[in-house]
Amino acid sequence: MKAIMAVLPGDGIGPEVTAEAVLVLEAVGRRFDHAFQFGYGLLGGCAIDAAGSALPLETVMLCQASDAVLLGAVGGPKWDDPTAPVRPEQGLLGIRKALGLYANLRPVKLNPALLHASTLKPETLAGVDLLVVRELTGGIYFGARKEAAPGDEVAYDTMLYSRPEIERVTRLAAQAARGRRGRLASVDKANVLASSRLWRRVVSELMRDEFPDVALEHVLVDAMAMHLIRRPAAYDVVLAENLFGDILTDEASMLAGSMGLLPSASLGEELNPHGQPRGLYEPIHGSAPDIAGKGVANPLATILSAAMLLRHSLGLEVEAQAVEAAVDFVLAAGLRTPDIADGAAEVLGTAAMGAAVVRNVTG
């Protein structure tokens, strides 16, 4: 297969971890006889510095001409003024919009070798294997808003959803549940919010009509925040609107003990020339400016994001499993980066951990 991938290293540790993921993808290409081509673009703070925009037009064109996009991270102290007219996060929201990405998939599957890395008891974590599907293009992040001008003490944001927005992300989540253990938990705040009452009604109707074989459960968002800590293994696929999904996925990441371990995929309706969604793949961690440039960042979340890229945007399931197996092998062998070290005998830096995965991909 010939495939073109856009790489947006971004800010902070982004360039370090994406470099390792690219090396892993190149190793996959050599082992399975694929021709992978990489094009690089600017997004986030580095783009603001270089081009005055968090999302230059050249980056949009690069991504639209690629089969998939691999992203590092955006943001940092240099650009952290929330009142600034141009902010790194605008680039992230902008590329999602430009590519029509409406659903974010965040799997949380615990590696048995790392149960100790979590602050939760091992018996609580046993059997955790869940997928959070977050709606990306609606809700309070995109509804009408009013900023508080100087001397004005009133501001508001609007949580707005339409039936089509809810239906398409529900279908994606239900299809994922059908391919897993057949259970879907839909998160809302229907006891308070009008938008959540529409969400619950649309999800219920669609599941009844199109996915009667998938068990549906409605969970209030505050209850889900508790259940993810108390009994996370009870869930298979969790569906949430934009704001609730943003918060719950960060909470769920701590089940694994480190954000440096968890990948994500953002998918839309547009297909690439391979007949697969042109997705954006990124680790769920941030730019971690405190460790940027020190060579100690954990690259595994970005490498696992590359595995999701192989699976969802290129249709290469065997290759994706090879990457995931390589990550499992290095962890089972006791190799650790500082964030998950916990007294491990062998603690590696970013490049050494990436090289260990490459060795196991190539066999």
Q: Are 67 and 278 in contact (CB under 8 A)?
A: yes
* Given 49, 222, 290, 342, the catalytic residue: 222
Tell me whether residue 103 is exposed, middle or buried, using C-beta atoms within 10 angstroms of its C-beta: 0 to 12, 13 to 18, 19 or more. Answer: buried
Residue 128 in contact with residue 208, Cβ under 8 Å? Answer: no
Find all residues with CB under 8 Å of 97, minimum gap 6, and list them.
Answer: 137
**Under DSSP, is residue 133 helix (H, G, I), strand (E, B) or coil?**
strand
Q: Which of 97, 109, 129, 250 is catalytic?
A: 250
Half-sphere exposure of 229 (CA within 13 A, CB side): 11
Q: Is 49 a catalytic residue?
A: no
222 flagged as catalytic: yes
Structure tokens at 268: 């839309």
Is the CB of residue 188 less than 8 Å from the CB of residue 199? Answer: yes
Distance of alpha carbon 251 from alpha carbon 225, whole angstroms: 8
Question: Cα separation of 335 and 214, whole Å?
Answer: 39
Reply yes or no on whether 236 is catalytic: no
When computed from its CA atoms, the radius of gyration of the chain, rounded to whole angstroms, is 20
Query: 271: which DSSP letter?
Result: B
246 is catalytic: yes
Q: Active site includes 188?
A: no
| CA neighbours closer than 13 Å in the CB half-sphere of residue 156 | 6
The contacts of residue 33 (CB under 8 Å, 6+ apart) are none
Q: Of 97, 109, 129, 141, which residue is the catalytic one? A: 141
Q: Are 281 and 21 in contact (CB under 8 A)?
A: no
Distance CA 165, CA 289 (A): 35
Catalytic residue among 189, 235, 236, 281: 189
Q: Which residues of 144-229 form beta strands (DSSP E)? A: 145-146, 156-157, 183-188, 215-220
CA distance 16 to 20: 7
CA-CA distance, 49 to 39, in Å (whole number)?
A: 20
Which residues does the annotation mark as catalytic?
141, 189, 222, 246, 250
